[in-house]
Amino acid sequence: MKKLLIIQLMLLMGISVWAEGLKSPNGQTSLNFELKDGVPTYYLSFKGKEVIKESRLGFELKDAEDLISGFELTAVETASFDETWQPVWGEWKDIRNHYNELFVSLTQTETKRVMNIRFRLFDDGLGFRYEFPEQANMTYFVIKEENSEFAMAGDHKAFWIPGDYDTQEYDYTESKLSEIRGLMSTAVTGNASQTPFTEPGVQTALMMKSDDGLYINLHEAALIDYSCMHLELDDKNMIFKSHLTPDARGDKGYMQAPCQSPWRTVIVSDDAADVLMSNITLNLNEPCAYDDVEWIEPVKYIGVWWEMITGKGSWAYTGLPSVKLGETDYSLTEPNDKHSANNTKVKRYVDFASEHGFDAVLVEGWNEGWEDWFGKSKDYVFDFVTPYPDFDVEMLRDYAKSKGVRLMMHHETSGSVRNYERHMDKAYQFMADNNYNSVKSGYVGDIIPRGEYHYGQWMVNHYQYALEKAAEYKIMINAHEAVRPTGLCRTYPNLIGNESARGTEYEAFGGNNVNHTTILPFTRLIGGPMDYTPGIFEPDVSQYNPDNGSRVRTTIARQLALYVTMYSPLQMAADLPETYARHMDAFQFIKDVAIDWDDTKVLEAEPGDYITFARKEKGSSSWFVGRTNDEQVRTSKIKFDFLTPGKKYIATVYADAKDAHWETNPKAYEIKKYVVTSRSKLSQMCAPGGGYAISIVEVIEKSDIRGIKRL
């Protein structure tokens, strides 16, 4: 590890205009901070091109004078920092954290209140945050709004979802910034809980492309004890302004100095691949908070889930319209004969997981209360420890353990967060007692306490509380419907997954846009891994439920590719075991593909069109390649120059057949093997909604490549 710290301190008083420039370590990205007539402003450029035009910084406060103007500069510090650190799990074994820093301390002349701003400039972008030191004139304050501006240099193409306090489960819209307002009414689609806030408002991470070829991404990092940030667009001047999620009273943050905001991030490059390779979000988070991380490990799992999502099975044990925990005697009720989380079925899933090398089986609907769990604003909805009559906790625990498999817990809160916190210690202890080391938590529906939003400060603090409480019991968290991630997995690596976007489940609710998975790595995944739940081999949902006419808009080959393109240390094979049994040749890739990596390369990338990743398995010489394609027929052309020179490998290519198409022929795939070296090249057709996956294994014995074509 290399660290270089250079500090320069200047005291400047009473200057009406003051400016300071800062360059990134390679000199290509430039920041200018200016205190202009008492107003803090900044602008950003990349290779001489404008990225962020002059933009103002500050806060509106409740029942107090705003922190927007009237400042004087009281201190400046500059520093350089360079280190290499290793994540507990990730896309790279080693991550470099290299930046130049500018710290400015501002004092509001009339009120004597101090607001500091810290800028960190990387080769691929910028992070900045506000810091409020302990001070005599401001300890407690309430944020009315944060006024961080991001003034765009043009009417960029953007990949956006509507601003919403409760959900990110939307398809992305691709449009010019100036078109967002007019398209908002069609972009807002139904959800179990949603609160769109304004017509020109969008969510982060926001991906854009300028006419002069810059790729720009806006997001935030290290969201702790603060409200989630959205972006409100002034579409006449192309200026985004931060828009924080309010609480039930309309307040946007309760602060006590010393404190700080999350980092606001701008990733920029003239190559789309650099956005996907950026580690700004992780680097702006603190190092791992745990001394012991041996209990944290990547998980490849299957689950009793997809049949319920499609409507083939049921979470509920009975058809009763109303139940009360502790009062309803389920032993006296009549089963509905569709309950999926039963002993026989779970054992079958455990057998399948054991046979094919999976780590865990997720079981949803195992616990009492699912009959009236949703839409009733019900406080005492689950207790997280009481199983239905047909789910024998101890028997299944022991059976799974005998097979070398763990069961994965499911905690659906139905938005009743007060109830979850009431039961949390008991629920986590129940997990520890029964050999569960990971939990999928859910927050479907409106939040209780009523009036709070999924993305407000109160809920952000709850997610953090649940994460740190789980660590006390050595439990890993996969939170669904929670606030979108902001790189906290560096500090708290037991956060091994999130949903926080429109995932595979929506393929059974009418379908996702065909190009959805060519956008998500540029947006949602900028903040951390997603539990996307790929691996669907039966695209026709009516085969499971005749009343559901949805189609999964993908080919089988692309479903394989998603294990590489949609990074996560938590990967699910989401389809039914009996479906995989009909395609065991393709299923082999899911069995083989790694979920933890030493190295990652982006071979091709264009948001909304295609992405091709190559990843090297942790502690192995094997590589895996994945390509996800949009709705057009495209030809992917890649080089294998990421391989070690002088060595030979066997590449198994799982690709779309010539007549494959997500809609008309989604199951048409072909599997071919080649001998490849670092000098090999591949030209591969990708069908509409298609793609390909490749496993690359080093040749050990010469006889292994006899009769295999060289590429």
Report the catalytic residues: 505
Going 61 to 63 to 68 to 74, the CA torsion angle's sign is: negative
| C-alpha to C-alpha distance for 101 and 23, rounded to whole angstroms | 9
Pairing of strands 360-363, 299-304: parallel
Phi then psi for residue 260, to 5 deg, are -155, 160
How crowded is residue 287: how many other Cβ atoms within 10 Å of its Cβ?
A: 10
The number of CA neighbours under 13 Å toward the Cβ of 649 is 25
The pair of three-digit structure tokens given for residue 642, joined into one six-digit string? 């990421």
Q: Which residues of 326-351 are buried (b: 16+ CB within 10 A; e: fewer)?
A: eebebeebebeebbbbbeebbbebbb
State how far the alpha carbon of 669 is from the alpha carbons of 242, 507, 663, in Å: 46, 20, 14
Residues 267 and 124 sit within 8 Å (Cβ to Cβ): yes
The sign of the dihedral angle between the CA atoms of 165, 168, 171, 174 is positive
CB count, 10 Å around CB of 539?
A: 21
Which SS3 state, helix, strand or coil, does residue 102 take?
strand
Close Cβ partners of 337 (under 8 Å, ≥ 6 residues apart): none
| C-alpha span between 390 and 343 (Å, rounded) | 6
Distance from the Cα of residue 438 to its chain's centroid: 18
> Does residue 517 contact residue 504 with C-beta atoms inside 8 Å?
no
C-beta of residue 560 within 8 angstroms of C-beta of residue 652: no
Q: Classify strands 406-412 and 438-442 as parallel, antiparallel or unpaired.
A: parallel
Residues 6+ apart with CB under 8 A from 63: 142
* 15 secondary structure, DSSP code: -
Q: Are 51 and 66 in contact (CB under 8 A)?
A: no
How far, in Å, CA of 88 to CA of 147, rounded? 36
The DSSP line for 647-697 is --EEEEEEEE-TT-BTTTBTT-EEEEEEEE-TT-EEEEEE-TT-EEEEEEE
Which of helix, strand or coil describes residue 19? strand
Cα 446 to Cα 375: distance, rounded to the nearest angstrom: 8
Burial of 148 (0-12, 13-18, 19+ CB in 10 A): buried
Helical pair 556-565 and 584-592, crossing angle rounded to 10 deg:
0
Distance of alpha carbon 519 from alpha carbon 525, whole angstroms:
9
Please list the residues that pair with 269 across neighbouring strands: 215
Cis amide linkage into residue 133, ω under 30° from 0:
no
Bridge pairing between strands 29-36 and 201-203: unpaired
Cα–Cα distance between 5 and 1 in angstroms, integer?
Answer: 13
Closest-CA residue to 127 (of 310, 261, 326, 287): 261
